Amino acid sequence: MEVLKVSSKSNPNSVAGAMAGVVRQSGAVEVQVVGAGALNQAIKAVAIARGYVAPSGIDLLCVPTFADIEIEGQSRTAIRLLVECRAMAPNPVTVPTSTPQNGRQDDEVEPVIVLGQERR
């Protein structure tokens, strides 16, 4: 699996483009970060990449894990983000939300969108 290393100085848009390209090609990418600033840039990149792949019917799933790595002879703790694709739901799902306390009729529902689609 391809590994993208992200630093606090990485451009989130560039990282997002790389993520989207690798995910489209192989279905998943691993992102490795060390430090809060790098993690911030990587998470922004995941959010941006979701927008890049959404028109193709793909949503991204992000699974974080810790990893012990060595940098210049020193042991460091990194965070690895496994970013993989999953198919988006074809249509929004409505979930009944009415209760006697909220004053709604039982047949009223609030639309809820799942798998990365926006809420109406």
Residue 54 sits in the same domain as residue 37: yes
Distance (Å) of CA 4 to CA 14, 33, 44, 60? 11, 9, 14, 16
Residue 73 sits in the same domain as residue 94: no
Contact 77, 65 (CB under 8 A): no
Per residue in 30-42, pLDDT tens? 999 999 999 999 9
Per residue in 3-38, pLDDT tens? 999 999 999 999 999 999 999 999 999 999 999 999
Residue 48 sits in the same domain as residue 95: no
Amino acid identity of residue 71, one-letter, is: I
Q: How many domains does the chain have?
A: 2
pTM here? 0.71
Q: Coil, helix or strand for 41?
A: helix
Residue 81 sits in the same domain as residue 119: no
Domain span at residue 120?
89-120
Per residue in 39-61, pLDDT tens? 999 999 999 999 999 999 999 99
Contact 112, 92 (CB under 8 A): yes
What is the percent of the chain where pLDDT is above 90?
A: 67
